[in-house]
Amino acid sequence: MLGKLHGEREVRLRRVLPGIEVAALAPTLARIDALKRVRRAIILAHNYQTPDIFHGVADLTGDSLALAREAARTDADVIVLCGVHFMAETAKLLNPGKTVLLPDLGAGCSLASSITAQDVRRLRAAHPGLPVVAYVNTSAEVKAEADVCCTSANAVAVVESLGAPEVIFVPDRYLGRHVASRTPVRLVLWEGSCEVHERFTAREVDALRETHAGIRVLAHPECPPDVLEAADHVGSTADMVRYLRAEMPRQAVLLTECSMSDNVAAELPQVELVRPCNLCPHMKTITLEKVERSLLEMEHRIEIPEPVASRARRAVERMLDVR
C-alpha cells in the first residue's frame, strides 16, 4: 500500500500498472514526496509523461498552456518540469527568480529544433510588417524574435488577437494549416513538423473505424491535414481530456503520444482507449529515477541569458493575456 493519504494515486496507478509494479514504486514515490517538502518544490508534468510520474508524483498536470499558467502562479521555490526543454524554459521565463529543473537536458522537441532565431529574422525581412506568432514548442531564442506565443489550445485566439490581416506563424506547418482553416487571417507558414504526430495517417483512421464501429477519433492539431479531416474532434491534449470527460464515449482513440492514453485510462476507466499511438522519444527521456536525482542534486537548472529572456518573456506573457 502507498498509504492512506495517497489512496487516489494508488487507485489510478493500479488501473494502468500491474499491482506488483505499483508496490515496487512505493519507496521511490515516498522519497520524492519527502524531497519535494525539503526543497519546497512542485512537480509540473505534461500529459505525455508516464503514469508513474503523471499520477505518482506530479502536483499539477496538463497541456502546454496549463503548465505555463500554473508555472506563472506557483509560490514554490523550485519547479521540476517533467516534460521537454521548451516547457522548462517557459516555466523559467515566467519565474526568473525561481529554480527550474529539467530532469534530463536531452529532452528536446523536433518542432523546437526545426527553426532558429535567425530563420525568424529572415522571415520578418521577407515579409516586412507582419507580426510573428511562435508556437510555444520553440527555443527561448525563437520566442525572443516573436511578437506573441501560442499553444495548440489558444492558437486561433492568439492569431486573431493581433488584429492583422496576415501573420507569420512558426514553426508547425500542420498546426498552422489547421489554424488557417479556422480564421480569416492569412498565415505565412514555416515547414516544421512534429516527428511523433506526422506519422499518423488517414488510412489508419479508416482501418480503425472499420474494426471499431462507433469509435470516437480525437486528433492533435500537429497531425497531417487528412488525419484531422478524418477525426471527430481536433484539440490540444487538455482539450481531448475535456472532450472525453464530457462525452464519455464507449471507445475512443487519441491520435497523439502514447502515455496520454495511459493517463486518461487511469482517470476514466469507463472509456476504452484503443491504440495506435506514437511515442515521443524526448518526453520518454524523463523517468522517475531522474526526477528523484533532479531533486537530490538540484539539476539540471534552466538558465536563460538576457536580453533573450526579457524579450521571450514578453511574448509568453502576451499569450497568457489572450483569453
- Residues at the contact surface with ligand 13P, assessed by CB under 6 A: 47, 63-65, 137, 151-152, 194, 220, 222, 236-237
Residues in the chain: 323
Q: Which set of grid coordinates corresponds to residue 176?
A: 498552422
Kindly state whether residue 84 participates in binding ligand SF4, applying the rule CB under 6 A.
Answer: yes
DSSP code at position 268: -
Burial class (CB in 10 A: 0-12, 13-18, 19+), 214: exposed
In the complex, the smallest distance separating the C-beta of residue 145 from ligand 13P, rounded to whole angstroms, is 20
What, of ligand SF4, ligand 13P, none, does residue 90 touch, CB below 5 to 8 Å by kind? Answer: none
What, of ligand 13P, ligand SF4, none, does residue 152 touch, CB below 5 to 8 Å by kind? Answer: ligand 13P
In the complex, the smallest distance separating the C-beta of residue 224 from ligand SF4, rounded to whole angstroms, is 13
* CA–CA dist 126, 121 (Å, integer): 9
| C-alpha pair distances (Å), 161 with each of 46, 91, 165, 169, 195 | 26, 23, 11, 13, 29
Rg of the chain's alpha carbons, rounded to an integer?
20
Of 262-291, binders to ligand SF4 (CB under 6 A) are 280, 282-283
Comparison of 22 and 312: residue with beta carbon closer to ligand 13P: 312
CB 189 within 8 A of CB 177: yes
Options 53, 66, 111, 291; binder of ligand SF4; rule CB under 6 A: 111
Q: Which set of grid coordinates corresponds to residue 6?
A: 495517497
Kindly state whether residue 44 participates in binding ligand SF4, applying the rule CB under 6 A.
Answer: no
What, of ligand SF4, ligand 13P, none, does residue 195 touch, CB below 5 to 8 Å by kind? Answer: ligand SF4
What, of ligand 13P, ligand SF4, none, does residue 70 touch, CB below 5 to 8 Å by kind? Answer: none
What DSSP letter does each residue of 41-84 carry, written as one string? EEEEEETTS-HHHHTTT-SEEE-HHHHHHHHHH---SEEEEES-
What, of ligand SF4, ligand 13P, none, does residue 110 touch, CB below 5 to 8 Å by kind? Answer: ligand SF4
Residues forming the site for ligand SF4 (CB under 6 A): 84, 109-111, 137, 194-196, 222, 257, 280, 282-283
